[in-house]
Structure 1
Amino acid sequence: MRTEEKLVAAGVRAGSEVIVPSFATAGAAVAVRNVGALPVFADIDPTTFCLDPAAVAGALTPRTAAVVPVPLFGHPADLSGLRQVAFDRAVPVVEHDECAPDFPDITRRRSNAAYLAARLSGVVPPTVASGIEHRYDSYVVRVPGNGRPDRDAFARALRARGVRCHVPVQTPVHRLPSFVRCTRVPWLPETERAADECLALPIGEVSSRRELQRLVSVCNALGGLLPAAA
């Protein structure tokens, strides 16, 4: 079922408010707008990159009709925590589904992710919440230093050495021109910090241990040239 259909089934109507993440694709916010509701952006958990239940609690108003979490980069949203926050207001939690890779691909990505997590020192590897199985649709690290300038310089240096990488969220959704004029503009510090620091490394395209070793070597060497995060 499409997210728009889920929202209508949950009772969301034109003029309602629906809480969504800004550090994500625009899909959830677009779905909310497509049913005539108003996207309200809440901040993310800095470790999972998904909606933070505490931030959602602060964004709830009498007009809130639903909360729409997004499983990001293969890490599921904290549905249990979000449902606890929404329970007192009788607000439904409607998950926005993203396309997942096939299971054999997930197995290879998890193996590559484990290898990198044990060896990377030039960047901050992703953190997996306790009891969670990460799909690693993308292997998103943080580049320590002074935010976007250092992250972008690091990405350019990787590419110059033949390592394909990309910024996973170039612009948070609440700052996109199509949304900034029709929503309250919140201050989302963890969203902004993630947008400035995050970089996706190419574990899906890596097919050999030698390639993984080279990726680790390049990242660790370059990371040593950047100032450590305060």
Structure 2
Amino acid sequence: MLQAAGVGAGDEVIVPAFGNPEVADAVVRAGAAPVFADIDADTYCIDPAHVADRLSARTAAVVAVHRFGHRADVEGLLYLGSRHGLLVLEQGESEKPYDETGQRRLHAAYLSGRLSGVRTPAGYDGHTYQQYVVRVPGNGRPDRDAFARVLRGKGVECSVPVKTPVHRLPAFRRDVALPETERAADETLALPVDGTMTRRQLQRVVSACNALGGLLQPAF
């Protein structure tokens, strides 16, 4: 899409650093340079306000990536695009069947109503819960990783959704301040919310998380 739009050598494309490197790779393959912007703390999608701060005379496009079932603020990006003559592209997620999405929403509502040991996702309208991503309280990555190990030891499958932001990978390393991206990479954990889960399995997730949450206190 970038190449078809004429984006290439000498151009910059603003992309999120929170996620996989495929988008930045695509920018490089088009001959342009990726510029990393920070994310919104609730949706984990690229923040139009920070995109505005990253604009330069070379900026040709911005890529919005929908994350975990949250939709990026495409309207805000389109407004920027219309003001500055930028191409706005979207990268979606694999769509779940309608029935599975509905079941995931029910399971997410159950978890969000009962979890007290973690910060639950913002439940915006339209959230499809491709992943149920929480924030683990405490002191960032060490506590999050310890939390995950204990959950797995109790039979609760969980995963770190983004282990290293793209701007920290050797191929794309940039000296840029992206505090929300860094914080999300250190604190987030994806809990199971598959549509086939039983109520007993959901209760096990709640019990395991709530038993641990009070043990992790933020540093002052």
Q: TM-score, normalization: structure 2?
A: 0.95
What is residue 15 of structure 2 aligned with on the other side? 20
What is residue 81 of structure 1 aligned with on the other side? 76
What is residue 151 of structure 1 aligned with on the other side? 144
What is residue 210 of structure 2 aligned with on the other side? 220
- Partner-residue secondary structure (3-state), 2:127: coil
The aligned length equals: 220
Percent identity over paired residues:
59
Higher share of residues assigned strand: 2
User: Matches of 2:51 and 2:219 in 1, distance apart?
Assistant: 27
User: Matches of 1:190 and 1:104 in 2, distance apart?
Assistant: 33
- Partner-residue secondary structure (3-state), 2:75: helix
Q: TM-score, normalization: structure 1?
A: 0.91
User: Matches of 1:158 and 1:75 in 2, distance apart?
Assistant: 25
Query: Which runs of 5 or more residues in structure 2 are unaligned?
Result: none
User: Matches of 2:186 and 2:72 in 1, distance apart?
Assistant: 21
Q: CA deviation at 1:97?
A: 2.6
Task: Provide Cα deviations, 1:103-137, integer angstroms capped at 9, x if missing partner.
Answer: 222111111101111111100001134xx301111
Cα RMSD after superposing both structures: 1.5
Quick check: 1:44 aligned with 2:34?
no
Task: Provide Cα deviations, 1:154-196, integer angstroms capped at 9, x if missing partner.
Answer: 001101111110100000011111212xxx4311000000000
Runs (4+) off by over 6 Å: none
- Select the residue among 157, 170, 177 that pairs with 1:177: 170
User: Matches of 1:211 and 1:41 in 2, distance apart?
Assistant: 39
Asked if the contact 2:12/2:59 (under 8 Å) is kept, the reply is yes
User: Matches of 1:68 and 1:185 in 2, distance apart?
Assistant: 20
User: Matches of 1:111 and 1:92 in 2, distance apart?
Assistant: 37
Query: Aligned partner of 1:145: which letter?
Result: G
What is residue 168 of structure 1 aligned with on the other side? 161
Asked if the contact 2:104/2:195 (under 8 Å) is kept, the reply is no
